[in-house]
Amino acid sequence: MKSVQPYLTFRGNCQEALNFYQNCFGGQIKNKDTYEGKEIDIPGDYRNKLQHAELEGKGIHIMAYDAAPDTPLTEGNQVQLSVD
């Protein structure tokens, strides 16, 4: 069976968004990885933001991350799709 997983981009509020989606759909937030300890030029207050995380549950798999502050984002173009 084919599946599609969205990969959502956020500007610092990824954890809050995943909490909201978990509240709506259930599932578990997994594979959380922050910018802490990474050798990347990023402000100190951004180090606790999510570099990657996933929400997995019955019939749902959402991947998401907080884009680095200097990453240009186009409004409305913050969803990528992965097809298995």
CB atoms < 10 A from the CB of 51, how many? 18
Quote the pLDDT of residue 47. 94
- Give the number of other CB atoms < 10 A from CB of residue 30: 10
In whole angstroms, give the CA distance from residue 35 to residue 64. Answer: 14
Predicted local confidence at residue 1, as pLDDT: 64
Q: Domain extents for the chain?
A: 4-83
Q: Which CATH class, in words, describes the domain spanning 4-83?
A: alpha beta
- pLDDT of 66 reads 96
- Please state whether 15 falls in left (phi above 0), alpha (psi between -120 and 50) or beta: alpha
Going residue by residue through the chain, which has 84 residues, state the pLDDT in tens, using 9 for 90 and above.
Answer: 678 899 999 999 999 999 999 999 999 999 999 999 888 888 888 999 999 999 999 989 999 999 999 888 888 888 888 888
